[in-house]
Chains A and B, each alone.
Chain A
Amino acid sequence: MKSQQAANRPDNTAFTQQRLPAWQPMLSAHFVIPGFLLIGMAFIGIGVALYITSQNIQVLEKDYTGTGQYTACSECADMQTIPCICNVTFSLTTLFTGPVFLYYGLSNYYQNYRKYQVSRDDVQLWGDVTKSPGDACAPYQYIDNKPIAPCGSIANSMFNDTFSLYQIINGTMKLVPLDGKGIAWWTDYNIKFRNPSAQGSLQDAFNGTMKPVNWSKPAYELNPSDMNDNGFLNQDFLVWMRTAALPDFQKLYRRITSGDYALGLPPGDYVLQIEYNYAVKDFGRKKVVFSNVTWMGGKNEFLGVAYIVVGSLCLVMSVVMLVVYAKYKFADENA
């Protein structure tokens, strides 16, 4: 009988009786008003720092689509002569603090279009060119029954304008050295992408594959000057393969880090020589952007402004609450 009693009687534990010790937070004014004040001040501080940093970032943009209001490269815009070389000149009155980063920007270009976005084969890009490319790569899967490497629309449409920068010193053009190393994510270069391995040269490894339709050179000859910058590990290729989030985007092209220009571009006249290959005029525009970079990345005023606004809001709210609280405090305590 005793044991039956024990079996029937509910356990008297804190859990079963819903009496677990509990913390019951009360958001009282005593706690919230100072909290808001603190957050507000901190946010305004961060916001100001962000804003000033962003303001100090120098940006120089040159649209070179060649159509519309910007006339630069208009001679190449019709895409009649290939390759077409055009020059964009600009002059700097102050030092453009280094390291200077060179970006290219495309607008109304949908790298995030779903069909486009999936048109790649990550297994192939991991070094397996012998397998048949994935169906997502269609219509850039095969040419004459030979697999395309790299396959797919993304690779096929890789940005292929090239830029070289010259400073004009006393009428002579001095080449500004552009550094193409480290413009892609470290993990992309070292892990996510791999060149096919084979005995012999990289060219042998790509044996039996075709270059993408739009490419003038096969993958293993992308950068003739640096053997390690070819195939799937070409930095420009890696940057392109990381598809942009929005239709107006910019991608890193080169950095100016060495030689006389390590500290920046000194004042003077410059010529940007562009090999104009990439057709965008039907749907959008392209531009080249010089910018320097800080701890927060490129120029972005949004964050600073947003922080200042939210911080001020917090301050205002804490003041309002203080007023309300002072007015009703006695009522509260007398109640």
Chain B
Amino acid sequence: MLRRRLRRLFGGDEKRVGSRTICVGCRSSLTTEAFLQQAFCDNRIVSSKYTVWNFLPKNLFEQFRRIANFYFLIIFLVQVIVDTPTSPVTSGLPLFFVITVTAIKQGYEDWLRHKADNEVNKYLVTVVEDGQRVRKESEKIKVGDIVEVLEDETFPCDLILLQSSRDDDTCFVTTASLDGESNHKTHYTVPDTEKEVELLNATIECEQPQPDLYKFVGRMQIHKDSQDAMRSLGPENLLLKGATLKNTKKIYGVAVYTGMETKMALNYQGKSQKRSAVEKSINAFLIVYLFLLVGKALVCTTLKYVWQSRPGQDEPWYNPKTVKERESNLYLKMFTDFLSFMVLFNFIIPVSMYVTVEMQKFLGSFFITWDKDFFDTEIQEGALVNTSDLNEELGQVEYVFTDKTGTLTQNNMEFIECCIDGFQYKYRESQAELDGFSVTDGPIYKVQEKAGREMEDLFLRALCLCHTVQVKESQLAEVDGDQIDSVSGGQCGFIASSPDEVALVKGAMKYGFSFLGLECKNMKILNRDNDVEVYELLHVLNFDPVRRRMSVIVKSKTGETLLFCKGADSSMFPRVRSEEVDRIQVHVQRNAKEGYRTLCVAYKQLSTEEYVQVDASLREARLALEDREEKLAAAYNRVETGMTLIGATAVEDRLQEQAAETMEALQSAGMKVWVLTGDKMETAKSTCYASRLFQQGTELLELTVRTLEEGGRPREERLLQLLQEYRAKTQCHPVGKGVNHRSWSSAGQDYGLIVDGATLSLVLNASPETDSSRYKSLFLTICQSCTSVLCCRMAPLQKAQIVRMVKNSKGNPITLSVGDGANDVSMILEAHVGIGIKGKEGRQAVRNSDYAIPKLKHLKKLLLAHGHLYYVRIAHLVQYFFYKNLCFILPQFLYQFYCGYSQQPLYDAAYLTMYNICFTSMPILAYSLFEQHICIEILLDSPTLYRQTAKNALLRWGPFSYWTLLGIFHGLLFFFGAFFLFSNPALLPTGQVFGNWAFGTVVFTVLVFTVTLKLALDTRHWTWINHFVIWGSLSFYIVFSFFWGGIIWPFLEQQRLYFVFANMLSSVSAWLAIVLLILLSLLPEVLLLVLRRPRGPRVRQMRRRLPSSGTSAIFMLSQTSSSHSFSWSD
């Protein structure tokens, strides 16, 4: 607490310090010295980045901040300034193209933002000024203005609700556009304000703007007849910009935060960019190639001056220098020569690679959106791709972190049973008992018994009262008219932020107690005897994840003041009498073991004096401006003591469909699945068993508070002891080390780890005296050798902490988080890939995710099929790009040795420019979009295939050097093949000779054909598009060459290629050489393909097998491993 205060005082963000004072209505009479007008920003929302004037410079600056673009710009500038072998057009044109396209795209996006901003800013709102209603543009609202908002309008800024047209001083809003929760939320007016807002004379003191949507503290000072009244303001009084008014005719509110200071604007911050591992590989390769480039240029420059120093070479009579050349400085000449060589060889790092990679990612991601297997008929939605940058990362996942509730389970709660006073009650629909309320035999109470009727009623009343559920408005209206009948039909008439509460209320309904709704702070329930009971709601002690319970204080008609409390067993048991605990604990534990979510219900009767005290302390805490949460929590804790335990409930949360199959598939694909949940250990454990994350033979290692307290020694000592013990255990069977075998298929023991939040924080934040990093590394080694890890009792932040810990561990494994709720957002943002489930807990997870899918089962196809394919595609794309440019430029480099190091280009400028843009770009793009080296069904059938590409297997230095060597081999072959052919340039049957451009054209023809055919050899999946593009590119090259050489181009200075191509083709020798060189280049590839054949037999075998998800994974594995045995090469 002290630290927080210090942070507030010394925090860097000075604007946030302190509070702001606002005079409501802002009449001139009030702006006395006491309220020096603070400068607040206006209500304009600016989400756009550019204006018309700064677009060009700012956008260009942004674009050239990218290393690659900057590099190309430098090359272009060098070409413009220095006399270089190739014209600036060759590199300027592609760069210009890329920059323009990007600028147009960004400009268009910004234009859309401008439009959206204008729509918001120019929206007409009604403002009350000096007692009159004035229509104003939304952007002109100032802090302190009183704004009128009608039904279904969105709030133009953050408002404090002053007056509502509803009788009960509430209004309903939906925050669907803010956090995606579409339920109606109730907000309250500031109590006891004037009925006429025009007459209100008040000041508001509130905290400075902060982005937390659910936090707000402030107070309002109402000046009435020279008397000041204080009212506390909380989030329930604050209407957020962007939310929509519902079910309320009109409200008045005073603006407190405007424009960029509204909570919506403060939350509108782009997610931090996630970079994929492939991009890191590209950058590493890029550096290698950059060194290669500089090396080549250096070698050539050095050799040039060595060569020139020999007599007769520097300036032969036939090639005199100009005066300028002769006079320029030697070192300057050397430098410009170096630059010229750089320019000549710069094609080795092509602009087009970036374009192609971007295009591949962008276009490729459509296949995820389009996949009809991801379409869920229930919610009528398919998958959603929020970023296309991470497609290939889906194929590299090593750790999967999954939330339990709503992700592994359906979050579709159903009331299963309850236990009242130690007796177990189970609802049976079939039983024709009058009230459907029956007692089943509890395991410890042999005799069928029932708890007392009073206890039953009390328990059910507690269920009916202790919640924050709302009855849907339409239902409410009906209830008003016809009080009793409408209830039976009201199946789905409840709205609540948590499905548990609805399940409980519905559960109570099954037993005869119906909640009718909340009206003017009166809760109405219909009891078993069809009587309406009315309770006055005095206080709601809201649920929070720290306390893990919530309470209500109500006053019954008879004048009794009751506190009902429900919460997790761990948070309830210390607060009730222990003998009650004993009776109920058995049930709770049994229910938890069966995978149900359990809650304990307790009550307490408050005497009048007690209540007065409680009321006072709560009000005081609510009024506090600073540290309100802490004070409130303390007050709550004081109230929620000494309660009587009535019973417990069990609510079932069913597993998602195919959750077990999905988890099994992920595990056999080599991923480690961690379950991170806020739920209690027993429940989570049973879910893990149900979803087959823990098998029967799995030995569970427990690191929980319970195991820590066993030894009776200080926790930290015990922790260290346990950690060491577990590590010793897991290390003697190094499960995690053997990548290629699943432990349980072999003799090795399988381990599962269970850790809870308290222990985890002990591990992660061990006190400084103890060696915290030691704990951490011990913990990590244990985790890594366990097949699944269950972390229960986690706070959202701890989830992110775990993800970060694994992410930064040795080897930097790729992590994936999947979750559906707002509590998963932190871990979704933290992991390399964040997956949101379009579940029931709002849309926050989906909005913050990289990919969103409707159901957990879709994760299997997303990773095993899409991810795997994307990775293979992009890895091949990257390697191929580097390869094809290496063998493109290598002949040009070699040619320097035979042209006096004069930077003479081997290829014509048109070929230099078109090579990457037209001749060889489309086939690889098509490949990288459509390739399926293994077809999707097989990928889904045998998850082990996923391991083939694990750990960035295709982009490691091994494959990279293979491709590089191949490029060098091809480049050498192309150049020296043509070189020996041209040892006698009389290649035409007429005895005529070929010149240098024919030489280059021979090399280039071989190059284009070899590079394209090499890709054709790699293509395993030839759709018509591949055929079209590969053969089309080759034909295009031929047609283009004829065309380019067939016309005297008026804009060209030199007609270098005039009829060169046609003449080349009239030489039989040239034909034969071209065919020979292409074949020779591809020969090793063909040989490798035939000799290696790793996929051949396996694929055939897979085809034979019927796709059946039901077959055991062991069977599947034994099959694949047997197919390993055949391989020609070994």
Q: Which residues of A contact B (CB under 8 A)?
A: 4-5, 8-12, 16-18, 20-29, 32, 39, 43, 46, 50, 101, 103, 109-123, 126, 134, 136, 138-139, 153, 156-157, 182-185, 187-188, 191-192, 239, 242-252, 255, 279, 282-283, 291, 293-300, 302-303, 306-307, 310, 313-314, 317, 321, 324, 328, 331-332, 335
Contact = CB atoms under 8 A, between A and B. Distances in A.
A303 B1101 CA distance: 45
A18 B936 contact: yes
A4 B93 CA distance: 44
B992 A184 contact: yes
A10 B318 contact: no
B1089 A156 contact: no
Query: Range of interface residues on chain B?
Result: 35 or more
B166 to A, nearest CB: 32
A109 B316 CA distance: 9
Contacts, number: 267
Contacts of A118: 1054
B1128 A328 contact: yes
Contacts of B374: 10
A296 to B, nearest CB: 5
Interface in B980-999: 980-996, 998-999
A63 B1025 CA distance: 58
Contacts of A157: 317-319
A298 B1076 contact: no
Contacts of B367: 16, 18
A24 B1020 contact: yes
A5 B380 contact: yes
A10 B899 contact: no
B1067 A307 contact: no
A321 B981 CA distance: 31
27 contacts: A4-B380, A11-B370, A16-B370, A17-B371, A18-B936, A24-B1020, A25-B1022, A27-B1086, A136-B1053, A156-B318, A183-B992, A192-B1055, A245-B982, A245-B1000, A247-B900, A248-B983, A251-B993, A252-B993, A255-B991, A282-B316, A283-B316, A296-B987, A300-B1069, A328-B1128, A331-B1125, A332-B1097, A335-B1101
Given A112-B996, A303-B1069, A17 B372 contact: yes
Nearest 3 pairs of A and B residues by beta carbon? A157-B318, A298-B986, A245-B999
Contact of B85 (A114, A255, A297): A114
A248 to B, nearest CB: 8
B986 A114 contact: no
B899 A114 contact: yes
Given A10-B375, A122-B1055, A192-B1048, A307 B1086 contact: no
B900 A18 contact: no
A32 B867 CA distance: 33
Given A113-B899, A115-B902, A300-B1069, 13 more contacts: A8-B375, A8-B380, A20-B1023, A20-B1025, A121-B1053, A122-B1053, A136-B1053, A139-B320, A157-B318, A244-B995, A250-B985, A296-B1069, A297-B984
Nearest to A295: B989
Given A282-B317, A297-B1067, A324 B1128 contact: yes
A26 B933 CA distance: 11
A244 B988 contact: no
Given A115-B319, A134-B1053, A10 B372 contact: yes
Contacts of B1101: 335
A114 B904 contact: yes
B199 interface: no
B1126 A328 contact: yes
Contacts of A252: 986, 991-993
Nearest to A313: B1083
Given A27-B1090, A303-B1072, A335 B900 contact: no
A298 B320 contact: no
A182 B898 CA distance: 29
A317 B980 CA distance: 25
A273 B124 CA distance: 102
A179 to B, nearest CB: 11
A184 to B, nearest CB: 7
Contacts of B1089: 27
B194 interface: no
A294 B989 contact: yes
A23 B382 contact: no
Nearest to B979: A246
Contacts of A116: 318-319, 902
A243 B996 contact: yes
Nearest to B869: A18
Contacts of B382: 8-10
Contacts of B1076: 43, 303, 306-307, 310
B869 to A, nearest CB: 8
Nearest to B1087: A317
A32 B367 CA distance: 35
Given A283-B312, A296-B1069, A26 B1096 contact: yes
